[in-house]
Structure 1
Amino acid sequence: MQDEPEVVVLRLGHRPGRDDRMTTHIGLTARALGADRALFVGDASQSRETVDDITARFGGPFEAEVIESYRPVIREWDGVVVHLTMYGERVQDVEADLREAHAEKPVLVVVGAEKVPFDVYEEADYNVGVTNQPHSEVAALAVFLDRLFDGRQLDREWDGADRRVVPMETGKRVVDPDE
């Protein structure tokens, strides 16, 4: 969020054909819930294009990028590395520490797909579980970002939008952002 160190979501293990929707949803969730960038590892250009299209239409700033390897990103990260895993510490037990760390340093949020290599667990400053039960990595990311930003991202203003969704009890309304 503005005037805070960066939050970047790193999506590991994209499997074309199998993970296209999930990787796209990781990027869209990262964008909508306060992250500044998403990095997709592997052949995820379709997911990047979709996220770029949504950002162009509904506003930013937000960047999505396809990279070849996660290892240099994690090893060279100058900030806090958080790996979301069902095997980690409970998010409610570490969220205050993570908010305090984020006040000073950028945060890299690592989200896996297939089995995550053990080096990710070792390199992470925090291995965090959003429940210790199997569930969607998109759900884990959403809950984590909401906890990290303490709900502030829900009132975010978007720059450069071609359209804006008008909140309504029923129905759907999308307007020019200047209306």
Structure 2
Amino acid sequence: MINVLAIGRNSYQNSLDLCVTSRALGASEITFIGKKDARLVNYINRMNSKWGGKFKVSFAKSCEEFLKTSDKAIKIYLTRYGTSFQEKSAMIITYKRIVLIVTDKEDVDYINKISDFKISITSQPHCRAASIAVFLHEYYKGRELAMHFENAAYKISQNGATEIKK
């Protein structure tokens, strides 16, 4: 189970990008810090009903509040200032319960302190959705690309046609 913890939200579209990227590539849930955005929840619920899966969007008042409920999960902070993912990947892929932390801020002291790993996807500027995508792809070793989403009403076939189940 991988839960993404997203700290800071710039725009609805930016938050939606984090949601759909996390969902499509194998995360179970994304939690945003701050006020609930019903549009995000509704969008993902509609996506789940059409495309399958049980991906969840949730909200917490603070990092501390959220992390108290995730104390048994390994906390991985994705930042360009961390240790190279390649250096730690063999160890990281052994963990099954992960909180993957992304933030729109350059440096967050609290997150630095509580993280089990500070991982750099690349040392160059990049967006949070890209870091999530690369991490999940490496974690699942490409298997996420063939993932089956249960109860999908829509399915893209190999020839590119959309099949709609009724």
Alignment TM-score > 0.5, same fold: yes
Letter of the aligned partner of 1:52 in structure 2? N
TM-score scaled by length of structure 2: 0.90
Moved over 4 A (4+): none
8 A contact 1:21–1:47 mirrored in 2: no
Does the alignment pair 1:57 with 2:57? Answer: no
8 A contact 2:60–2:66 mirrored in 1: no
- What is the CA distance between 1:176 and its match in structure 2? 1.6
Distance (whole Å) between structure 1 residues aligned to residue 63 and residue 138 of structure 2: 25
8 A contact 1:9–1:39 mirrored in 2: yes
Structure richer in strand, relative to its length:
2
Letter of the aligned partner of 1:33 in structure 2? L
Letter of the aligned partner of 1:43 in structure 2? K
CA change 1:94–1:177 in 2 (3 A) is farther
Give the 3-state SS of the residue equivalent to 2:123 in structure 1: coil
- What is the CA distance between 1:29 and its match in structure 2? 0.8
Q: Which residue of 2 aligns with 1:133?
A: 124
Distance (whole Å) between structure 2 residues aligned to residue 53 and residue 70 of structure 1: 27
Does the alignment pair 1:174 with 2:162? Answer: yes
Q: Which residue of 1 aligns with 2:67?
A: 74
Aligned length: 164
Distance (whole Å) between structure 2 residues aligned to residue 62 and residue 76 of structure 1: 18
8 A contact 1:75–1:123 mirrored in 2: no
The correspondence for 2:32, drawn from 22, 31, 40, is 40
Does the alignment pair 1:8 with 2:16? Answer: no
Letter of the aligned partner of 1:118 in structure 2? D
- What is the CA distance between 1:69 and its match in structure 2? 1.5
Give the 3-state SS of the residue equivalent to 1:135 in structure 2: coil
CA change 1:76–1:158 in 2 (3 A) is closer
Moved more, 121-130 or 41-50: 41-50
Identity percentage over the alignment?
22
Give the 3-state SS of the residue equivalent to 1:52 in structure 2: helix
Does the alignment pair 1:112 with 2:106? Answer: no
CA change 1:122–1:95 in 2 (3 A) is same
CA RMSD of aligned residues (A): 1.7
Give unmatched runs, 5+ long, in structure 1: 1-5
Structure 1, residues 71-118: CA drift from partner, whole Å, max 9, x if none?
22224421200011010111111111100123xxx1000111234421
